[in-house]
Structure 1
Amino acid sequence: MIVPQIPPGPEAVADHYDELDPVYRRLWGEHVHHGLWATGRETPVEAVEALVDTVGDRLRLAPGEACVDIGCGYGSTARRLAATRGVRVIGITLSAEQARHAAAHPAAGVEVRRGDWLDNGLRAASFDAAWAIESSEHMVDKPRFFAEAHRVLSPGGRLVVCAWLSGSGASGWRVRHLLEPICREGRLPSMGTREEYEAMAEAAGFAVEGYEDVSRRVARTWTICARRALVALLRDRESRRLARRGRNRDFLRTLPRLVLAYRTGAMRYGILTLSTARADEDGVPGTSGTGPSAPRD
C-alpha cells in the first residue's frame, strides 16, 4: 500500500474537491472520473459515458433496483444509470460544492447526499447494487469501505469498484516521484494494489467475480487534461488566476505525473466486480432491495 507522508482525512478530501470544483469542471466536465476508450475515436464525453455504461453492465442493473453511488461527485453517473437502466440511486459525496451542483440538477430516481461513506447512516441489506468510481482511493479506512458496502447490500447484491491502483511491485523512483506525490497532491490517504483490494474485499465477505485492467484504455484522460490545461493557461486569464492558488498548482503538477505513471506501469486502473453471498448460500433469509431511504439499524 502506497501511503503519503501525511495521509489526508475526509475533511482534506472534501476541501480538495470544493476548492478545485471550477478547475475540474473546466478541464473535464461533470463526470469526475476517467474516460474509457474502445476505438480511440470516441470524444471525451463518449469515453466517460462508456465507463459509466461498463459499470452498469458489470452490475447487471435491472429496472427498479435500489442502488448506492459511493463517492458520487456531481451525480452524473447516478443520473445516467437512473435514466438508462431505470434504477433508483442514492449518491454520497463529501464535497459541499458537488452536492450543491447535484441539487441544482435534479433527476428522477436520484438523491445526492453530502456525507462520509464510512459513517453513511444507511440501513443494512437495503440495496441491490453499489458502485465506487474512483472514490475508494480517498477512503482513510479501506477495509471499512468494503465492510460498509457489504453491510448495506442485500444477499446477492453486487459491487463494482473502479480504482486507481499501484502496479504490483512498484518501488524506488516510481514510488518517490510518482505514486507518493500523486497520493499527496490528489488527497489520497493510500493507493493499493489489485491484490490488496481483492484481499480486503474478500475479508469483508465479498466474492470476486471479475477483474479487468483497463489502464491502456483510460490513460489518455490525462494527456487530454494536460493539453486542455496548457491551452487554458495560454489563452484564458481566469485560468491563470486559478492556477496561482496553492491546491490548483498541486493539481497541475500532478497531471504530468499521472501521464508518466501510466506509461511506466507504476499506476494501473482496475475494474473489480464483486458480489455478496445469496440467501441459499449462507442461510440468511432473502432480502429484496426495498429502498434506501430508511435510517441505519
Structure 2
Amino acid sequence: MDPQELKQGIAELYDESSGVWEDIWGDHMHHGFYNPDDQVSGSGSDHRAAQIRMMQEALRFAGISEDPEKGPKTVVDVGCGIGGSSRYIARKFGAKCQGITLSPFQAQRANALAETEGLADKVSFQVADALEQPFPDGQFDLVWSMESGEHMPDKRKFVGELARVAAPGATIVIVTWCHRVLGPSEESLQPWEMKHLKKICDAYYLPDWCSTADYVNLLESLSLQDIKTADWSQYVAPFWPAVIRSALTWKGLTSLLRSGMKTIRGALVMPLMIEGYKKGLIKFAIITCRKPE
C-alpha cells in the first residue's frame, strides 16, 4: 500500500469507527491494563478503569513524577484519538497538550469534548501527520504515543520526529503493538506468522510490523538515553475478548452495521489479535526513553 493510500485508509477507518467506539467504550481508544489475577467482569466500567490504569502505568514506567508540580507542562499526543490521553494528562498535571491525528472526525470530536469539559484552554487537536509533525524542534517535555506506532509506515521517521519535537531532558513514551523479537538464527518471521499479521494489517491499515528490539535500535541510533522496554501482553490479555463481547451485544451489532465496511472488517479480524497474543507472535510493548539534556 503506498503511503498516501495508507494515510487515507487510516483517516477513513477512524472517521468511520470512532463514534461507535466512544459510544460503547468511552473516550480512551486503547487497550486496558488488567491485573492477570483479577476476574474481569463484563461491565464497561471495569474496562474503562483498565484503560485509565494503562495511562497511569505508562507514566509510572516512564518515571514521570506523580507530583503535579514536577510533572510535564507541555505534551504532544501523537495519534491522539478523540483526546482521552491528552485530557487525562492535562487534568493530572495542569499541562498544555497538543494532539495530532489523521482523522478529521477525531480532531473535531476531541476539540468538542475539550470544550464541554472546560479544558479548551489546556488541550487542542489538529489533523496532522506524525511523520511530519507541525511543531518546532524541542517543544515538548512529554512526547506521548499511545498505540499509534503500529500505523507508521516509516518507523525510523516516526521515532525521529518524536525525538525532534522533544525538549532536552524530555521523556518519550511509546506504547505499541509489535511482533515477537526474532531469535539469533532467524532472518524473518515464519511464513504462517507473516500471513497472520498480513490479515490484521489489511483490516486495520497497518504497514509492516517491527519488534521491540527494532525500536530500541532506532532509539539508540538517535542517542536517546535511559531506554527501557517491557512486554505487557499478559496485562492486556482480557482486552480483545471484551471488545468482541461488546461488539456482539445488540447495541454493538447495530452500531457496527451502521458504521460501515471498514469498521466491520476490523471487527472480523479481532479473533486474529487474540490468537496472535496466545501464540506469542503479537506483543504489547511499552518503550520509554529520555532525550539528552
Please give the range of the TM-score, normalised by the shorter of the 2 chains.
0.7 to 0.9
Matched, 1:30 2:27: yes
TM-score by structure 1 length? Answer: 0.84
- 8 Å Cα contact 1:55-1:131 kept in structure 2: no
Residue matched to 1:212: 230
Residue matched to 1:281: none
Matched, 1:260 2:275: yes
Structure of greater relative contact order (alpha carbons < 8 Å, 6+ residues apart) = 1
Runs of 4 or more consecutive aligned structure 1 residues displaced over 4 Å after TM superposition: 5-8
* Paired-residue identity, %: 27
Q: What root-mean-square deviation, in Å, do the aligned CA atoms of Structure 1 and Structure 2 show?
A: 2.0
Residue matched to 1:55: 58
TM-aligned CA distance change 1:75 to 1:239, over 3 Å: closer
| 1:1-297 to 2 correspondences below 5 Å | 8-38=5-35, 39-41=37-39, 43-57=46-60, 58-60=62-64, 62-63=70-71, 65-106=73-114, 107=119, 108-169=121-182, 170-176=189-195, 178-232=196-250, 238-239=254-255, 241-242=257-258, 245-278=260-293
- 8 Å Cα contact 2:137-2:164 kept in structure 1: yes
Q: Which amino acid aligns with 1:172?
A: P
Deviates more, 1:49-58 or 1:17-26: 17-26
Q: What does the per-residue CA deviation read over 1:146-188, in whole Å, with 9 as the maximum and x for residues that have no partner?
A: 1111111111111010010001244232321x21111121111
Could you say what secondary structure the match of 2:56 adopts?
helix
- 8 Å Cα contact 1:35-1:221 kept in structure 2: yes
- Stretches of structure 1 that go unaligned for 5 or more consecutive residues are 279-297
Number of residue pairs matched by the alignment: 270
Task: Quote the Cα distance in structure 1 between the aligned partners of 2:207 and 2:79.
Answer: 15
- 8 Å Cα contact 1:222-1:258 kept in structure 2: yes
Task: Quote the Cα distance in structure 1 between the aligned partners of 2:79 and 2:253.
Answer: 32
- Stretches of structure 2 that go unaligned for 5 or more consecutive residues are 41-45, 183-188
Q: Which amino acid aligns with 1:197?
A: Y
Q: Which amino acid aligns with 1:117?
A: A
Following superposition, the deviation at residue 205 of structure 1 comes to 3.0
